[in-house]
Amino acid sequence: MQIFIFKSEANELFACAGDMAGSKLPTQIGPWQLEDTIEAGGALPHNLSRFKIESAIKMQGFQLWRMKRPVLTQK
């Protein structure tokens, strides 16, 4: 399955979807901007599980994820 990666312009959420238009992405946390395309069998960023992402896309039409903010340490 080809996977399309989107970034929300409203916040720091990302999403994986099964179509280039992101037609099943939740509109209330959009608008969404296409960031990348991962070919079938290609590695997903940040060691995301392809099995879990593909399962979520088949069941819900998308999978959301958020990048963790780096922890700042004081000196």
- Which domains are assigned to the chain? 3-66 (3.10.510)
pLDDT (average), residues 4-15: 93
The whole-model pTM stands at 0.85
The residue whose two tokens read 């958020």 is 66
Closest listed residue to residue 66, CA positions, set 52, 48, 54, 41: 48
**Percent over 90 (pLDDT), the chain:** 72
Tell me the pLDDT tens digit for each residue of 49-73: 999 999 999 999 999 988 776 667 7
pLDDT above 70 for 75:
no
Give the strand pairing for 32-38 and 13-17: unpaired
Residue 12 is predicted with a pLDDT of 86
Closest listed residue to residue 7, CA positions, set 28, 38, 30: 30
Report whether 47 contacts 68 (CB < 8 A).
Answer: no
Greatest Cα-to-Cα distance within the chain, rounded to the nearest angstrom: 47
Residue 33 is predicted with a pLDDT of 97
